[in-house]
Amino acid sequence: MAVELPDWGRLQKALSIEATRGFVNLMGKEYRFSEFLHASLSEPPQDKLMGAEIRRWQGLAAQFGRYGELSRESREQLVEETRKFLLDMERICTRSPSAAVTSPGPRGAPAPAASRSVAPRRAPRGAIAPDRGLTQVPGIGAKTGDRLAKLGLYTVADLLYYYPRDHIDYARQVNIAELEPGETVTAIGTVKRCNCFSSPRNSKLTIFELVLKDATGQIKISRFFPGYRSRSRGWQEMQKRAFPLGAVVAASGRVKKNKYGITLDNPQLEVLDGEGGAIESLNVGRVVPVYPLTEGVGADVVRKAVNAVLPAIAHLNDPLPGGLRKKYGLMELGEAIANIHFPRDRDILDAARQRLVFDEFFYLQLGLLHRRQSAKTNQKSVVLPRQGQLIEKFYSLLPFRLTGAQERVIGEILNDLEKPEPMNRLVQGDVGSGKTVVAVVAILAAIQAGYQAALMAPTEVLAEQHYQKLVNWLNLLHLPVELLTGSTKTSKRRQIHAQLETGELPVLVGTHALIQEKVTFHRLGLIAIDEQHRFGVGQRAKLRQKGVDGVPHVLSMTATPIPRTLALTLHGDLDVSQIDELPPGRQAIQTTVLGSKDRPDAYELIRRELAQGRQAYVVLPLVEESEKLDLKSAIEEYERLQESVFPYFQVGLLHGRLTSAQKEEAIGLFREGRTQILVSTTVVEVGVDVPNATVMLIENAERFGLSQLHQLRGRVGRGADRSYCLLMTHPKATAEARQRLNVMAQSQDGFLIAEMDMQLRGPGEVLGTRQSGLPDFALASLTQDQEVLVLARDAAGRAIAKDPTLERWPLLKVKLEQTLKRLMEGAILT
């Protein structure tokens, strides 16, 4: 009895989506990815295969049975081998039309991208299904399919969504006399002369020359062919016969000027039927797509393959509601995909790209807003009224007036705390803008309602800094505060644990130590997290679970200004407040970009400030991805400054190899003024608040991002004295790097600087590529497509407002689920 054949397309798509999402063994409705593959491969079609093929089939099934135990590298290798093996088996098993009996496979397997988002509809006869293997597509076949597999392209849907990385515009046709160097154009003329010959200077090079003429002039163009095959006289004659005298030829390329005059650089050529003849080539006279390639897979191979599968767009249903498409002037999905590959002109390409970029942003924003709405609807938290004596008394004890921005943000926070759903708010504020005071008001709201509060910081230095501030303020209100870090002694730790459990201790400040299992709160109602992006998703979740019913209010803070587009992308499910005003009396920090010749002047400024009783920082960049080299550089600079440059002053040293106690000692000596200069690497957070420090010298400043420089600059200017930030550049620093640093010299606005930093370096570099949490967009750019992101956010908000469950748009809901998994792999919705 013949075994039913598997659903080849479904298997390929399951393998494809598992690869796309990072080999995490995805969970479907009933089965995990590995269970689905194991079950689907359990019975090979023995009547179609040979013994070796059957054994290989069974071996793969067995490997998927223990997929969960494999390393990521082994999973990646297994998935890749299986995709190629199944392509070969599909060719063997489907040679006879009668053999094409399919089995749907186990229900509940993880449905890949195309299977649910590309819903089938009535398509013209002959249209290709998106789940079809590329080797089965007319015009592609087995040989080309194997080559496309090198790019990870196995199905029609893979190829449809393999967007070009760029386009070359040959659509503009010009007369020969109008050719201008630097333009990409198409010129059409008749052949006046054609020649093909071996180069007299290089026997391995063949030169092809063509002279084209139109009513306005003539042009000579050349192409060069290396290798022995082109040296054949027969091959050269064949080239000449392809372009006979009088033939009409379209030539597309970039115009350049050489010593012989105007020409086209390595042009694409097509012989037309005659004057006014249609251009059929995929490379001539049109906007030509440029795809990411790999060795052995040329541009023409991909272009011809994409052209062969374009009829499959007839199967695509557009998940975006028609009303939204109409409101935002968006192209239909199938039309957009066709025109991102082969647009008629630049205008239609721009419209196609806008639709597809809109989709990438829209589904991300829809997911973030959907999660936010779901949390507000389904989760309940404690209500913390704003009325109470503690907050009023705190206001009366403050030795300064709050800024308007602080009052606005406090109002937003207190409004959140009075609602039954949990607050999830991010407060952005420049260095020194007063975020801690805002957090204290939220903490007091929790305490006066009978709950506890916790403040978690990423380093012991910052935790100690917050602790000192809270002690100074809360002691005046007779409220105890404790600090818990990795350096806390065991006896003190036990005391803190006991007081937390009984509720005697209302406020705890600490580092990751707060999330340890032994730390148990009596009634934790509010969590404040400083520099929240420095903590992992799991770490933040563990602290939340310690709250009342696991749903406390959460106030996150960051001193790193984030451009609006990044905030929408990373924190679209949070409410965001900005403290965009510095306290009165804060002086602008004089920032200067210096070269090596200016170093004596920089040292003289530091001496002058130190002589007047003030202090200075010297910050060194990360030399390489090596802590040893970083440490060596810091120690050498410390010794040089102490012995040769500032022998009459005390120099301190701070670096990543010091123990916590040694770091605290170095910072303590500087804070107390017993060392006048602190040399620090960038391995540790320079989170030191020393109002007496007035100079920040940053070595090799071009190696830092603008946002990081702005953070470092904020460590001075915290007192009443005038302060200075000196950006010392390397002698080999480029003019572009110095121009970037000039942004720092011209602006004190952290949000403007963050925007400029993203424009100049890109969002991944601004955030740090290792834990940026940025989604992997296929087309969208956070720097180039900011306006589209804002539109997509608006559209997502309208959709959620109309139907928070998205039940009225089932295609949209399904597309949302799979797109979020592909874009973010769980990294964003935190």
Q: From start to end of 663-810, where are the E strands?
A: 677-680, 693-698, 724-728
Query: CA dist 111 to 119, 379, 396, Å?
Result: 12, 29, 61
Torsion angle in degrees (nearest 10) through CA of 351, 352, 355, 360: -130
590-747 sits in which CATH class? alpha beta
DSSP 446-490: HHHTT-EEEEE-SSHHHHHHHHHHHHHHHGGGT--EEEE-TTS-H
Token pair belonging to 577:
């407040």
**Residue 819 half-sphere exposure, CB side, CA atoms within 13 Å?**
26
Whose tokens are 């509060």? That residue is 453
172-285 sits in which CATH class? mainly beta
Domain boundaries, the chain: 5-117, 172-285, 318-380+751-830, 389-418+434-558, 590-747
CA distance 491 to 209: 88
CA distance 132 to 305: 13
Contact 546, 524 (CB under 8 A): yes
Contact 427, 447 (CB under 8 A): no
CA distance 516 to 640: 43
For residue 713, pLDDT beyond 60: yes
User: Nearest to residue 267, comparing CAs of 332, 164, 125, 170?
Assistant: 170
Please tell me the predicted confidence (pLDDT) of residue 763: 66
Contact 805, 366 (CB under 8 A): no
Average pLDDT over residues 611-625: 82
**pLDDT tens-digit readout, 239-295:** 999 999 999 999 999 999 988 889 999 898 988 887 777 787 788 888 889 898 888
CA distance 465 to 468: 5
**pLDDT tens-digit readout, 208-241:** 999 999 999 999 999 999 888 888 889 999 999 9
Q: Mapping DSSP to helix (H, G, I), strand (E, B) and coil, where does residue 429 land? A: strand
For residue 33, pLDDT beyond 50: yes
CA distance 694 to 710: 15
Contact 138, 151 (CB under 8 A): no
First to last CA, the chain: 52
H or E stretch covering 15: helix 8-20
pTM score, whole prediction:
0.68
Question: Maximum Cα–Cα distance for the chain, whole Å?
Answer: 100
The superfamily in CATH containing domain 389-418+434-558 is P-loop containing nucleotide triphosphate hydrolases (3.40.50.300)
For residue 118, pLDDT beyond 50: no
**pLDDT tens-digit readout, 560-584:** 777 777 777 777 778 888 888 877 7
Query: CA dist 132 to 106, 153, 297, 303, Å?
Result: 19, 12, 21, 18
B/e letters for 214-234, b = 16+ CB within 10 Å, e = fewer, are beeeebebbbebeeeebbeee
In this structure, which amino acid lies at residue 566? L
Helix ranges, 485-530 (H): 490-502
CA distance 639 to 645: 9
Q: Say what percent of the chain tops pLDDT 90.
A: 37
User: Nearest to residue 266, comparing CAs of 280, 283, 289?
Assistant: 283
Please tell me the predicted confidence (pLDDT) of residue 98: 33
CA distance 137 to 81: 21
Please tell me the predicted confidence (pLDDT) of residue 104: 37
User: Nearest to residue 205, comparing CAs of 225, 221, 219?
Assistant: 225
Least confident of 67-76, 341-350, 540-549, 756-765: 756-765
φ, ψ at 203 (rounded to 5°): -65, -15
Please tell me the predicted confidence (pLDDT) of residue 765: 58
Whether 172-285 shares its CATH topology with 590-747 is answered: no
Contact 823, 777 (CB under 8 A): yes
- Which of the residue ranges 101-110, 140-149, 248-257, 537-546 has the most confident prediction, judged by mean pLDDT? 248-257
Q: Mapping DSSP to helix (H, G, I), strand (E, B) and coil, where does residue 490 land? A: helix
CA 691 to mean position of chain CA atoms? 37
**Residues paired with 254 in a beta bridge:** 184, 265
Query: CA dist 13 to 57, 116, 155, Å?
Result: 18, 11, 8
For residue 771, pLDDT beyond 60: no
In this structure, which amino acid lies at residue 484? L
Least confident of 221-225, 391-395, 520-524, 542-546: 542-546
Number of H helices, E strands in the chain: 28, 22
H or E stretch covering 482: strand 481-484
More confident residue, 137 or 724: 724
3-state secondary structure 505-564: CCEEEECHHHHCCCCCCCCEEEEEEECHHHCCHHHHHHHHHCCHHHCCEEEEEECCCCCH
CA distance 573 to 375: 10
For residue 592, pLDDT beyond 70: yes
